[in-house]
Amino acid sequence: MEALQNVILLLSEPLVQFFIWVAVLFVIANIFVDRRLSFWIASVGATYFWIKTQDPRVALKAWLVVLGVFLIILAVKNVFNLNIILLLKGKKRCPMCCEEAYRKAKVCPHCHYKFASETDECET
């Protein structure tokens, strides 16, 4: 019962509500258009409608959260030469063709390059 109350309390936060609106608009837009375009439609649409009807500071806070996460991912990629997105997907980049391959693959499924070690990364 306490967990349900915590979820309800979390859902009553305006910042969480903003991200829920972005997610709902993304799902709806994803039905009709390409995934990349639907992200922008959802982001800009949710921001526009939120600013018109709710507190604009919440939208600003949400975009600061998104920017912060983006900067953390970018810093990890540049400092540690580690692609978090590929790591989360369980994949790596082939140094020959730059296509994604499963992390445990010994041969690239696209160009048949034989991986020598785990540290191989695409130069581009």
Low-confidence winner among 30-39, 64-73, 80-89 (lowest mean pLDDT): 80-89
What is the per-residue pLDDT for 123? 53
Q: Residue 68 belongs to what domain range?
A: 2-82
pLDDT digits (tens, 9 = 90+) for 37-51: 998 899 999 999 999
Judge contact between 95 and 113, C-beta under 8 A.
yes
Across 11-31, average pLDDT: 92
Are 29 and 77 found together in one domain?
yes
Q: Measure the CA–CA gap between 101 and 94, rounded to whole angstroms.
A: 7
Low-confidence winner among 59-63, 85-89, 114-118 (lowest mean pLDDT): 114-118
Judge contact between 29 and 38, C-beta under 8 A.
yes
Q: Looking at the predicted structure, is the pLDDT value of residue 120 above 50?
A: no
Query: HSE on the CB side for 87, CA within 13 Å?
Result: 11
Domain count, the chain: 2
Across 1-22, average pLDDT: 91
Are 66 and 20 found together in one domain?
yes
Are 100 and 78 found together in one domain?
no
